[in-house]
A and B are shown apart, each in its own frame.
Chain A
Amino acid sequence: MAGRLLFYGMIAGLLAGLAAAGFFSLAAEPSVERAIAFESALADSAGEAPEAEIVSRRMQKSVGLIIGASAYGAAAGGFFGLAFAFAYGRIAQDDPRAVSALLAAAGFIAIALVPALKYPANPPAIGAPDSLGERTALFFAMVLISVVSLIVAASLGGALGAKFGAWCGRVAQAGVFVAAVTIAALALPGFNEIPTGFPADLLWTFRLASLGGQAVLWSVLGLSFGALVHNDRCRDETMSRRSGLA
């Protein structure tokens, strides 16, 4: 059963990644092009030779974007299927579609939204190569802290519910998560590597499109995974009825 859920997760994730790639190509690619134009103009005025093109822009914004987003989606879906395998039957929600939607909302918040609030997405032209290692390590650290905080807050459900009642227990759980990620976000260093003159509206549009694509990805993942598991369960029930087992 867990193996099948992992497989469904990766399939739903692949679909979600394709949907996100579609959204990105409509809503974000114009910003990417503008940012690359700014980057080239900056390099020109500094007298730097243009970088050799290893993969053409046409390839990057089509095949490359689809490969990148669908691989990311499949990976997110893999974790998602495993999280579902653990959560299903262990939380107070019985409809697999509702469990799936709930998990997807939690995944969007913990994996995409919270890390992006601390380390927002940056278009080309932003970011010093010297700090890449540090920024990568801190970004993954923020994702990890956010996911661990979510798991800790979720596991406190029983204890907090018993102490404060069902509703206030839930609010307290959310409070634990928000407090933990806020402390982490305040404690970790920030970066400001935006070159002088970079258009503010371009930065805003790019970051908004980045979050929009993540919202598309997690919505499609949660809804399609739920539908897959729901159909599976309906088929199983029909088959056991036919064979006279139920």
Chain B
Amino acid sequence: MSDAVYNPAARPTPIPIGQIAPWLAFGGLLSVLLMYFVGAEQGATALIPGHYIHELVHDGRHLLDFPCH
């Protein structure tokens, strides 16, 4: 994204990609796992047998638009 008028001198220094990458791998994996357990575990697929996780997060799963049932 670019703007017609801005002062490049005031621009904050971008964080180098190399510094973001390891955190992207760690944080991305953690976030994907969290989202998987809220959205899909014991529904379409299951890592842990049973229905406890599905039933516990049931309302959130419906309300956050994940397919359920």
Contact = CB atoms under 8 A, between A and B. Distances in A.
Main secondary structure on chain A at its contact with chain B? helix
Contacts of B40: 136, 140
B34 A136 contact: no
A64 B60 contact: yes
Contacts of B26: 6
A76 B27 CA distance: 11
A169 interface: yes
A88 interface: yes
B12 to A, nearest CB: 4
Contact of A82 (B2, B10, B28, B52): B28
A122 B62 contact: yes
A100 to B, nearest CB: 13
A186 interface: no
Contacts of B12: 88-89, 94
A105 B50 CA distance: 37
A22 interface: no
B31 A79 contact: yes
Of the four ranges (under 10, 10 to 19, 20 to 34, 35 or more), the interface on chain A belongs to 35 or more
A168 B40 CA distance: 41
Given A75-B38, A127-B67, A60 B59 contact: yes
A89 B63 CA distance: 35
Interface residues of B, number: 49
Most buried by A among B6, B17, B67: B67
A136 B69 CA distance: 10
A210 interface: yes
Nearest to B20: A2
Interface stretch (A42-50, A112-120, A176-184, A218-226): A112-120
A54 B63 contact: no
A137 interface: yes
B38 A72 contact: yes
Interface in A40-85: 54-55, 59-61, 63-65, 67-69, 71-72, 74-76, 78-79, 81-82, 85
Nearest to A32: B59
A104 interface: no
A145 interface: no
Interface string B32-69: 10110111100111000011100111111111111111
With most chain B CB atoms within 10 A of its CB, the pick from A3, A72, A123 is A72
Q: In the A-B complex, list the 4 residue pairs whose CB atoms are closest, starting with the nearest.
A: A68-B60, A92-B3, A89-B14, A78-B31
Interface of B: 1-4, 6, 10-15, 17, 19-20, 23-24, 26-28, 30-32, 34-35, 37-40, 43-45, 50-52, 55-69
